[in-house]
């Protein structure tokens, strides 16, 4: 994330990750096709394949969603992160990011043996995500 700058292409961000995996991590493969979505592309499920190939320039106010993972000795990692391309959240981005982070934390705390997933998710959705203030 520290190497990403507005003006870079999404595929250049993918190459930063791949280079690190291959040269520093000692990996020979990635676990799956890298997703490097910026702006509206961050909301496209499984973006990054041949039909949507990480080929947009990253703009100054964009949020980036990266979903990438390396494969090492038969083990696969899966890392997803969201961050502002310019390093600073605008107010709407901060509100949404914090709401999703709070919802994630609440779900993890609510998971207990015997509790139904749908009940947990619906409660969190009603308590946290429905109150997000976006202009």
Supply the CATH number for residue 25's domain: 3.90.230.10
Residues contacting 40, CB < 8 A, separation 6+: none
**Domain that residue 116 falls in:** 89-135
Residues 67, 115: one domain? Answer: no
| Cβ(62)–Cβ(38) below 8 Å | yes
Looking at the 3D structure of the chain, how many domains does it have? 2
Residues 52, 11: one domain? Answer: yes
Residues 101, 81: one domain? Answer: no
Residues 29, 77: one domain? Answer: yes
Strand, coil or helix: 120:
helix
| pLDDT string in tens for the chain (135-residue length) | 889 999 999 999 999 999 999 999 999 999 999 999 999 999 998 898 888 889 999 999 999 999 999 999 999 999 999 999 999 999 999 999 999 999 999 989 988 999 898 888 888 887 777 777 776
Residues 4, 66: one domain? Answer: yes
């Amino acid at each position: 994330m520290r190497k990403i700058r507005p003006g870079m292409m999404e595929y250049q961000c993918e190459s930063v990750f791949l280079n690190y995996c291959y040269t520093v991590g000692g990996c020979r493969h990635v676990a799956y096709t890298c997703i490097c979505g910026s702006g509206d592309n961050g909301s496209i499920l499984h973006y990054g394949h041949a039909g949507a190939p990480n080929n947009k320039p990253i703009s100054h106010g964009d949020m980036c969603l990266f979903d990438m993972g390396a494969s090492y000795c038969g083990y696969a990692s899966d890392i997803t992160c969201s961050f502002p391309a310019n390093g600073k959240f605008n107010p709407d981005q901060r509100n949404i990011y914090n709401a999703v982070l709070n919802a994630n934390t609440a779900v993890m705390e609510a998971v207990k043996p015997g509790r139904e997933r749908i009940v947990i998710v619906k409660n969190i959705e009603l308590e946290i995500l429905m109150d997000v203030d976006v202009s």
